[in-house]
Amino acid sequence: MMSDRVSLKEKLVSYNIKVNIINGVFAAIAFNLVNPYLAKFAERLGATDYQIAYLTSFPYFVSIFAYIPGAILIESLSNKKKTTGTIMFIHKLFYLLLAILPFLKGVNQASLFITIIGLMNLPGAMATMGYQSSIGDVFSIEDRGNAMGLRNKYSTIFALAITFISGQLLTYIPKTNEGSIRLYQIFFFFAFIFSLAEVISFFKFRGMKRKKKSTRYIDSLKATFKNLPKEKNYLIFTLISAFFYIGWMGAQPLFNIYTIKVLGANEFWLSAITISSSLSSILSFTKWAKFADKKGNNFALGIALMGMAITPIFYVLSKNIFMLVLFNIIIGIAVAGTNLILFNMLLEVTPSINRTIYIAIYNTLTAIVSAIAPIMGVAIKDMTSIAIALIIIAIFRFIASFMFIARGLVRENN
């Protein structure tokens, strides 16, 4: 009898792992048909430097209104799968809006494009939280690492393939700017189709329990805010992270402007940059995990952020696009360490009670900074030059690196 239960559990876990992989592959295909080329598409629509900055900042501004309300919505309703799946579907509908955008005449298409991308992040941020919460329900702690590892492995393979193929098609098929825009429209449509498959596969998960409607999550939210001043370790980490996000997100529009407008990158080179950084990230993930286990998260993150701090300098030193592709191999290593360790440290400092709310508060604060920093980066560029702006951003990142190392030393001494 017991062996039958174990066998059924193993079959359920195996089934859900396969569903999770398929879901990840569809998500990766849709994402990489669109996201690597957002800034280039905006430029083809006539976007200014500030509009390219808004392309980074506006989605984060919108997500400010998504994290905490989204957490309350998803956790409060009785059917998490249905709620999350519905929000996912609403998010995917925005791909159709992107596809029909170039047909709209008499409007500022670049501004409308940025608005759609920003508003898309409202259901997008909620859907991401819903998926993460659902994975916690579907997989036990023991199975979660393997399930997500396999998902990331296969989705990354498809992501790289799609990025390479789409970059080639965008480079060699269109002969005019209008032709490029038409091909983008086709990509947006196919992104919608694959994202629909992502939503359908999400509903295939089994073993998600329904719960009774409750107002306890609102009570937990109030209790968390009341207890927040006592969580010194969490607060210090969150504030240092917010400072780092000034340098992290402040650089994004500058990178796009430098790559596209200064170095003249087309879609082929944009895909090459994405592929070079992604490959080095994949290969370095396990190395960073071992390094963090050996040296501690604070020190390891400090080293990763030093690599992030050098990144803007690499852009300044890049006098042609090929140099930038090579530099992105190194940049990808730093990004991998930053993403991995920053998330691990967030889980480390958040209290186990009401953890979802603490993470939502962290995401909200970093989203506020991320909404402001890109505009600040372009403003510094306009007051000085793009090279000086990149160097100033590098200084912000270096300071954040030393702040994390100092935090680790203080904790060790205490």
DSSP one-letter string for 348-372: HHS-STTHHHHHHHHHHHHHHHHHH
pTM of the full structure: 0.80
Specify the CATH number for 10-205; select among 3.40.50.300, 3.50.50.60, 3.40.50.1820, 1.20.1250.20.
1.20.1250.20
> For residue 289, which phi and psi values (nearest 5 degrees)?
-60, -45
CA distance 127 to 74: 9
Query: Rounded to the nearest 10 degrees, how much is the dihedral formed by the CA atoms of 235, 236, 239, 241?
Result: -110
Tokens of 321: 């696009």
**pLDDT value at residue 58:** 93
- Residue pLDDT, tens place only, 325-375: 999 999 989 988 888 788 778 878 888 777 777 888 888 899 999 999 999
What is the rounded average pLDDT for all residues in the chain?
Answer: 87
Mean pLDDT by 10 residues, the chain (414 residues): 63 90 95 91 90 90 87 73 91 95 90 95 89 77 73 85 91 90 95 97 81 61 83 91 93 93 90 89 80 84 91 94 93 87 80 77 90 93 95 94 84 66
CA distance 154 to 161: 11
- Extents of the domains making up the chain: 10-205, 220-414
Burial readout 361-390 (b: 16 or more C-beta within 10 A, e: otherwise)? bbbbbbbbbbbbbbbbbbebbeeeebbebb
> Mind spelling out the 3-state secondary structure of the chain?
CHHHHHHHHHHHHHHHHHHHHHHHHHHHHHHHHHHHHHHHHHHHCCCCHHHHHHHHHHHHHHHCCCHHHHHHHHHHCCCHHHHHHHHHHHHHHHHHHHHHHHHCCCCCHHHHHHHHHHHHHHHHHHHHHHHHHHHHHHCCHHHHHHHHHHHHHHHHHHHHHHHHHHHHHHHHCCCCHHHHHHHHHHHHHHHHHHHHHHHHHHCCCCCCCCCCCCCHHHHHHHHHHHHHHHCHHHHHHHHHHHHHHHHHHHCHHHHHHHHHHHCCCCHHHHHHHHHHHHHHHHHHHHHHHHHHHHHCHHHHHHHHHHHHHHHHHHHHHCCCHHHHHHHHHHHHHHHHHHHHHHHHHHHHHCCCCCHHHHHHHHHHHHHHHHHHHHHHHHHHHHHCCHHHHHHHHHHHHHHHHHHHHHHHHHHHHC
At the topology level, CATH places domain 220-414 in Growth Hormone; Chain: A; (1.20.1250)
C-alpha gyration radius of the chain: 22
Q: How does DSSP classify residue 102?
A: G
**pLDDT value at residue 158:** 92
**pLDDT value at residue 148:** 72
